[in-house]
Amino acid sequence: MKSVGIDAVEIWAGKLKLDLPETFAPEKDEDPDKYRKGLGLVNSSFPDTYEDIVTMGANAAKRLMDRKGLKPDDIGRIDVATESAFDNSKPVSTYIAGCLEQVYDEDFHHANKGERKFACIAGTQSIDDAYNWIKAGRNRGRSAIVVATDTALYARGSSGEATQGAGAVALLITEDPSMVELSTEQGYGSADETDFLKPNQQFPSVDGKRSMQVYLARMREAVEDFESVAWDMHPEDLEYIPFHTPFPGMVRKAGLLGYRHMIRDTEIEDELAGEIGRQPREGEYEDWDTYEDAIRDYMDKLKQTDMYQSWYAETIEPTLGLAREVGNWYTGSVHVARASALKHAAEEDIDLTGEQMLVGSYGSGAQAEIHAETVQEGWKEEIEQLTIDEQLAARYDLDFDEYEQVHDVHNHDMTVDVEEFTIPNGEFVFAGIGRMNERKYEYVE
Ligand code: CAA
């Protein structure tokens, strides 16, 4: 059986940041702790005036190719996952390949290019496409590049404005990967939902509270589906669980539900029984409402236990470090969570080779997917090459007026003239609109 998975990852963060507790909250008359403690966010990344989904994606992909010593001929697929596309026909991957062709001698004329759409889960689906392509032996020895790139902007004044972000993740999918091998087993939870959508509009229509319930419901279905084809999960078998992270507070809820599920009928449930009782079982209650009340009560007690808190600190918290600093990157978000966990392990000198992670992806509309990943020998060498800490430290710190200007610059319905806040250096930049309304890009040395 071929081993297929993620060989390497690169992350490109938008070059601007908005400090949510200090800059955004006071303007909205909100308590900064809503961000620090509730949503779990400190900063959001924003694109500078010359950045967009193409530049961020192309810059991440170029860094990936340079670092891995790859030429265009080594790449057989370029798949872009985004929910911020500006064209209903021409895929963003053609723009990204066009950018890369400006700086390499060869071209990507024999690579299959596409664009995947299913809200935030599309990045994971693109990895699946690449995985299947390699497993099927159709890759002619070549690798695939998956780029998950988004400017996650919401209409000003909407509830989602608190959870914005922008950035790109480029992933190299290969046979015998250095970083993580993907399980063949997958679980899905998928249903026609109207929680978050963009019906031919740039900014989402979102029912925030409902979107959170749908996230949890679909994730639960996906876990059950995964267990039906794979194995029953146990907290001690999983080193990390990177989830789609629209904001860390969402993952706090998913983590608690997941833990309750995993410990049911295990020695952990028995051990906790003296302190908080056993988990309510549906059959023991006369109606659904009383059962739900009992579950809520159990969960409230469960989250206070030392056992849960130390599991959360070790297994979930390390996945959230980058998200707290960048906000929601939609399609890139779960891949930022994986990178965050691996980065944490490298910094703490934790030996991960051979360990398992469970990855929980989610896209509104709605679908969740669960699969397992086994960490491979080269993970540390790969993850230590990320420059994300330096990128985050170098971001320009926007004041509130500047934030509103940047939001307007990236609003497709507005034309505003705003000076850039940072100076591009060795990267692709947006260079204007062409005669067929196409976007143009150039490489700045
Ligand atoms: N101290 C501590 N905590 C505080 C606080 C304070 N002073 N003030 C508020 N909080 C807590 C609240 O109790 C709440 O936590 P709980 O949910 O655990 O109760 C949290 O901070 C957020 O506060 P609000 O609910 O008052 O915040 P809100 O009204 O702004 O709504 C939101 C939050 C619904 C997530 C909104 O930001 C939103 O619509 N976001 C976009 C949609 C979204 O991200 N949905 C997530 C699931 S869908 C998905 O994952 C796909 C995707 O990427 C979009």
Domain of residue 110 covers 4-444
Which protein residue has the closest C-alpha to ligand 1 atom 51?
364
pLDDT for the residue numbered 190: 98
For residue 24, the model assigns a pLDDT of: 98
Per-residue pLDDT tens for 18-68? 999 999 999 999 999 999 999 999 999 999 999 999 999 999 999 999 999
CA of 249 to the centre of ligand 1 (A): 7
Positions annotated as catalytic residues are 83, 120, 244
What is the C-alpha to C-alpha distance for residues 328 and 152, in angstroms, rounded to an integer?
7
Nearest CA to ligand 1 atom 42: 208
Please give the tally of structural domains in the chain.
Answer: 1
**What's the pLDDT score for residue 367?**
98
Which pLDDT does position 1 carry in this prediction? 84
The C-alpha atoms of residue 319 and residue 8 are separated, in whole angstroms, by: 17
φ, ψ (nearest 5 deg) of residue 358: -115, 130
The average confidence (pLDDT) of the chain is 97
The burial class, CB within 10 Å (0-12 / 13-18 / 19+), for 419 is exposed
For 313-372, write each residue's pLDDT tens digit: 999 999 999 999 999 999 999 999 999 999 999 999 999 999 999 999 999 999 999 999
Query: What is the C-alpha to C-alpha distance for residues 246 and 235, in angstroms, rounded to an integer?
Result: 23
- CATH number for the domain that contains residue 302: 3.40.47.10
pLDDT of residue 150: 98
Would you give the end-to-end CA distance of the chain in angstroms? Answer: 44
pLDDT computed for residue 360 by the predictor: 98
Taking the centre of ligand 1 as the mean of its atom positions, its distance from the CA of residue 209, in whole angstroms, is: 8
Copy the structure tokens of residue 295.
Answer: 């579950």
Q: What is the residue with the minimal CA distance to atom 48 of ligand 1?
A: 211
Report residues whose beta carbon is within 6 angstroms of any ligand 1 atom.
31, 33-34, 37-39, 120, 159-160, 162-163, 196, 206, 208-209, 211-212, 215, 244, 246, 249-250, 328, 330, 362, 364
pLDDT digit string, tens, across residues 119-132: 999 999 999 999 99
Residue-wise pLDDT for 182-215, tens only, equals 999 999 999 999 999 999 999 999 999 999 999 9
State the DSSP string of 74-106: GEEEEEEE-S--S-SSS-HHHHHHHHHHHHSSS
